[in-house]
Amino acid sequence: MARQIGEVILDLQNVSLSFGGVNALIDISFDVREHEVRAIIGPNGAGKSSMLNVINGVYRPQAGEIILRGEHFRQMNPYKAASAGIARTFQNIALFKGMSVLDNIMTGRSLKMKANIFQQAFRTGVAKREELEHRAKVEEIIDFLEIQHIRKTPVGRLPYGLQKRVDLARALAMEPQILLLDEPMAGMNIEEKQDMSRFILDVNDQMGTTIVLIEHDMGVVMDISDRVVVLDYGKKIGDGSPDEVRGNPEVISAYLGASH
Amino acid sequence: MGFFLEVLIGGLMTGMLYSLVALGFVLIFKASGVFNFAQGAMVLFAALAMARFSEWIPGWLGIANPVVANILAFIIAAFIMFLVAWLIERLVLRHLVNQEGATLLMATLGIAYFIDGLGQTVFGSDIYKIDVGMPKEPVMVLQDVFAGGLLINKEDFIAALVAALLVAALALFFQKTSTGRALRAVADDHQAAQSIGIPLNRIWVIVWTVAGIVALVAGIIWGSKMGVQFSLVTVALRALPVVILGGLTSVPGAIIGGLIIGVGEKMSEVYLGPLVGGGIEIWFAYMLALVFLLFRPQGLFGEKIIDRV
């Protein structure tokens, strides 16, 4: 299936966020089109994670608007964002440590589970059938991300690279329309990075999921993204295709330091 | 040997009851990171509801059968505990998401006094009795094995059995259902749980309801032993050392901690008591808890507290 980049699905307008006196984001606007891979880059402390946290409602911006499929929000909250089809992974992996890989991924199905607490407690047909259906879906995702061999392992015992993959799997279990990835390749070796890039592209291509990602590795970003937005000290300093951004003098000076 | 076993079994049975109360603490702490100071007040409140409704229902509905009256009273009391949970979430917890632990602790302290007062206003402040038909007379068992057999208190035995069944049922619920999975997820990481679409508010109502029903069962058992009166609140204080010992985050810890304290109390009273003049039972548990706080603050099964620097 050829990937067709569509209309604007998520539009951020004049978003500002501050903590006490620190301005984390200053008047930032950019949009995300359906089915595209949109990267947010910038030096440390540029406000990339804050941006993602605003989109999924962990942070509440003081000014600006979030327009999701034409619907205007002053601010989101994580539950509302999840219900609206936005999934995310975390920079410092936020998996449920005591639980197995399978259970972690199953929690991603929470919104789709309909059986009530009594049906679950007494294991009625409805609850059992539902559990099996969702289990089947989760197994598909496990196959897709090639983590069959670890599905019963408690996630706390997995190496870092695999935990990142489970984090992605849990987000995918939500069957999101928009997937926010916060440094999906941080701390990985080259091989793991290649695997992760492949998975991200496959998700985008085969499931049609729109992807917004933060990444430090420039090579990877330029390879896999359709458009890139560049932040520096909470301001947007560049926006466009990887090539445009690469040639932008402001971006170059932010990364390499300007010559005065 | 027979006597030793008697003391041991007595201790285990008392310990099971401590576990039940401790479980209420652990459930809420796990799911919301709140040390619920109101657990004791909830035990009293639930017991009062049970005692008064089982007394009122025969008059209101003309039901003479005490079993039916007790069952109805239990259902009503359980529903009341659900209402309490719902109100606590609505009026208090919802507004304190992501606040410091100390703030939440203070909030539950307030809730505790409020529930204490409310319970006595609504249900009265006399001593009431709960009679769920527990057999009072002790029985002798294993007479062929030991000279004189073992004297076992039937009431304690049934209470311990009920507590054990409840604990087992809860453990199963947590492990095997999707709500249980969601509860464990929330316990592990609020933010991540919300981000994948687990509704924090609903989970909190469920947890507080479950803790309320645990309090109800504990209230019925303790209430039928010693009458429903204000001192039931202190039952929760007895469970405090249990959670310190077992770890605030561990369900098995609550059970094993309860058993250790129950047995320890009885053993020390019987075997050490005569040497130091008795009364050890009263402070033994706290002493043990103190030792644990010094050497193993996370308890036997709690998560180790590691601060990244």
Chain A hits for B199, CB-CB cut-off 8 Å, are 79
Q: What is the pTM of this model?
A: 0.82
**C-alpha dihedral over A204, A207, A211, A215, to 10 degrees?**
-50
Give residue B86's Cα distance to chain centre.
19
Within a domain: A91: no
Taking a contact as any Cβ pair under 8 Å apart, which residues of chain B between 225 and 284 contact chain A?
none
B194/A contact by beta carbon, under 8 A? yes
A62, A189: one domain:
yes
> What is the CA A207 to chain-centroid distance, rounded?
15
Answer whether A16's CB lies under 8 Å from A61's CB.
yes
Query: Which domain, by its residues, includes A49?
Result: 1-85+176-260
The domains of chain B are located at 2-295
Of B185, B199, B206, the CB nearest to A107: B185
Q: What is the ipTM of this complex?
A: 0.83
Does a structural domain hold residue A253?
yes
Given this model, what pLDDT does residue A259 score? 55
Question: Are both A206 and A130 inside the same structural domain?
Answer: no
pLDDT score recorded for residue A51: 93
In a domain, A252, yes or no: yes
pLDDT band at B304 (very low <50, low <70, confident <90, very high): low
Alpha carbon A22 to its chain's center: 25
Other CB atoms within a 10 A radius of the CB of residue A230 amount to 23
Residues A117 and A243 in one domain: no
A107 to B196: CB separation less than 8 angstroms, yes or no: yes
Same domain, A184 and A162: no
Pair of tokens at residue B65: 């059968």
Chain B contact set for A81 (CB, 8 A):
195
Is any Cβ of chain A less than 8 angstroms from the Cβ of B195? yes
Judged by average pLDDT, the poorest of A47-61, A129-143, B15-29 is B15-29
- Quote the pLDDT of residue B277: 74
Residue A196, pLDDT above cutoff 70: yes
For position A55, what pLDDT does the model report?
94
Q: How confident is the model at residue A200 (pLDDT cuts 50, 70, 90)?
A: very high
Decide if B210 touches A, using CB distance below 8 A.
Answer: no
Average pLDDT over residues B18-33: 84
Mean pLDDT of chain B: 84
pLDDT digits (tens, 9 = 90+) for B83-95: 999 999 899 888 8
The residue-averaged pLDDT of B22-40 equals 84
pLDDT tier, B307 (very low <50, low <70, confident <90, very high otherwise):
low
Q: Does B166 touch chain A (CB under 8 A)?
A: no
Cα separation, B183 vs B198, in Å, equals 9
Q: Are A220 and A183 in contact (CB under 8 A)?
A: no
The total number of structural domains that make up chain A: 2
Answer yes or no: is A76 within a domain.
Answer: yes
The tokens describing B88, both together, are 């606590």
Q: Give the C-alpha distances (Å, rounded to integers) separating B15 from A65, A130, B100, B210, B255.
A: 57, 39, 32, 21, 8
Give B-chain residues touching A121 at CB under 8 angstroms. 173, 177
- Domain shared by A183 and A75, yes or no: yes
A72 and A139, same domain (yes or no): no
Of A149, A173, A197, which closes a domain? A173
Residues 6+ apart with CB under 8 A from A242: A221, A222, A225, A227, A228
Of B11-20, B40-49, B244-253, the poorest mean pLDDT is in B244-253
Q: Are B195 and A107 within 8 A, CB to CB?
A: no
Does the residue A135 lie in any domain?
yes
Average pLDDT rounded to a whole number, residues B239-258: 84
pLDDT confidence tier of residue A175, bands split at 50, 70 and 90: very high
Q: How far, in Å, CA of B309 to CA of B301, rounded? A: 24
pLDDT at B235 over 80: no
A-B Cβ pairs (cutoff 8 Å, strict): 83
Do A189 and A251 lie in a common domain?
yes
Q: How far is CA A254 from CA A43, A243, B99, B106, B308, in A?
A: 7, 16, 37, 47, 31
- Per-residue pLDDT tens over the stretch B109-137: 999 999 999 998 988 888 888 877 777 77
Predicted confidence (pLDDT) at residue A11 exceeds the cutoff of 60: yes
Quick one: which H or E segment has residue A176?
none
Model confidence pLDDT, tens digit, residues A36-84: 999 999 888 888 999 999 999 989 999 999 999 989 999 888 999 999 9
Q: Which residue among A128, A147, A173 closes a domain?
A: A173
Residue A234 domain-assigned?
A: yes
pLDDT at A1 over 80: no
Q: Which residues contact B184 (CB under 8 A, 6 or more apart)?
A: A96, A98, A99, A103, B30, B174
Domain assignment present for A114: yes
Give how far the C-alpha of residue B83 lies from the chain's centroid of Cα atoms, to the nearest Å: 19
Same domain membership, residue A164 and residue A193: no
C-alpha torsion sign, points B267, B269, B274, B276: positive
Q: Does B192 touch chain A (CB under 8 A)?
A: yes
Mean pLDDT of the region B286-293: 86
Please answer yes or no on whether A82 and B196 come within 8 Å at the CB atom: yes
B178 to chain A, any CB pair closer than 8 A? The answer is yes
What is the least distance, in Å, from the CA of A114 to any CA of chain B? 10
Q: Give residue A202's pLDDT band: very low, low, confident or very high (50, 70, 90).
A: very high
Mutation target for B interface from A96, A170, A172, A181: give the one with most B CBs within 10 A.
A96
The answer to whether residue A129 is domain-embedded is yes
User: Of A119-123, A220-224, B107-111, B164-168, which range is least confident?
Assistant: A119-123
3-state secondary structure of A246: helix
Whether residues A167 and A152 fall in one domain: yes
Clarify whether residues A23 and A40 are in a common domain.
Answer: yes
Shortest CB distance from A88 goes to which of B181, B188, B195? B195
